[in-house]
Amino acid sequence: MQFTLSNEPTEEIEEFLNSKLKEFNDRTCVHFLEARKKGRRPLSIVIRNDNGNIIGGLVGSTYWNWFDVKLLWIAEDFRGRGLGRDLLQRAENNARSRGCAHAKLSTFSFQARIFYEKLGYKVVGQMSDYPPGESFYWMRKDL
């Protein structure tokens, strides 16, 4: 056997390992194969000001009856006006119409944990000191 350490993994190696993990997951868990066949359904909402500039938005997807929030951002000048709440609620309503029963997201301690908790999300996992002095949270909500 030969072990090769690299500071710059090649795309070829990454694709190879990813394909092998997908093969295993597809064989082992019917839900992975189902998600690959049906695909994740993208979901995004953009908020623009009167000039057409983006001042907020959300990007996520739905699969396995879950809504996965990948990105949510509101421009600092527009925070505190309920736009984030409205944005997330609109996305959750759309996810419900797609049959989703749950939502998940992640955030850092210096980002929006309290905001999400006010909207019904609960911390289900925490990684402390990531980055140093902060925490990373996994959150979920039953829709």
Strand duo 102-108 + 66-74: pairing: parallel
At 73-82, the pLDDT tens digits run: 999 999 999 9
Measured in residues, the chain has a length of 143
Computed over every residue of the chain, the mean pLDDT equals 95
At 33-84, the pLDDT tens digits run: 887 778 789 999 999 999 999 999 999 999 999 999 999 999 999 999 999 9
The whole-number pLDDT of residue 123 equals 98
pLDDT category at 11 given cuts 50, 70, 90 is: very high
Contacts of 116 (CB under 8 A, 6+ apart): 105, 107, 139, 141
Contacts of 43 (CB under 8 A, 6+ apart): 58, 59, 60, 61, 62, 67, 91, 94, 95, 98
CATH T-level topology, domain 40-142: Aminopeptidase (3.40.630)
